Structure 1
Amino acid sequence: MVEKKLTVKNKTGIHARPASQLVKECSRFKSKVYIKTDDKEINAKSIINLLSSGISQGTKITLCTEGEDEVEALEVISSFINNLID
């Protein structure tokens, strides 16, 4: 498993459209993809989990990937999150 700490920069956080795009991006990889916040571990391949997580701008998260393509997944998904625009 590899992980990377990030801060959500998108002014509206991870709401419907970014959550949908994030799930699509995560689903490209065979690895498990999780987002950890202070009190939750969220399956990033689940739109329901992402929408109910309440991740807003400024939220500090840890992106975790585990599996055969974990390194590539971590880099691509962390870049996606860092570049989210409403």
Structure 2
Amino acid sequence: MKSRKVIVANKAGIHCRPASKIMQKALEFKGCQFSLKSSKGNIDPSSILNLISIGLERCDEVEIIASGDNEEKACNELAELFTFEFDFPPRE
């Protein structure tokens, strides 16, 4: 099991489009299970509904936990997406 704490960097937080990118990355690691912990709750980040419903905002701290095949790589690649500042704004 590997874990990593990161701060959400995207100005608009984790809305639909960044959530979609995070979910897609989590699903790439078929032999790995994920958990995401924050002050707003614990979720499975391989579900876009989970990611959106938790309401992560810029500067929120999250802990990404990966367990299984390629867990270190999986944890690091998922963490990168939370620390990436996407250039698209949320849709109105």
After TM superposition, the score normalised by the length of structure 1 is: 0.92
Which runs of structure 1 show a deviation greater than 2 angstroms over 4 or more consecutive aligned residues?
none
The CA distance in 2 between the partners of 1:75 and 1:19, in whole Å, is 16
When Rg is computed on C-alpha atoms for both structures, the one with the higher figure is 2
Shift of 1:26: 0.8
Query: RMSD of the alignment, in Å?
Result: 1.1
After TM superposition, the score normalised by the length of structure 2 is: 0.86
User: Which segments of 5 or more consecutive residues in structure 2 lack a partner in the other structure?
Assistant: none
The CA distance in 1 between the partners of 2:40 and 2:60, in whole Å, is 12
The CA distance in 2 between the partners of 1:39 and 1:16, in whole Å, is 17
Partner of 2:37: 36
User: Which segments of 5 or more consecutive residues in structure 1 lack a partner in the other structure?
Assistant: none
Q: Secondary structure at the match of 2:35?
A: strand
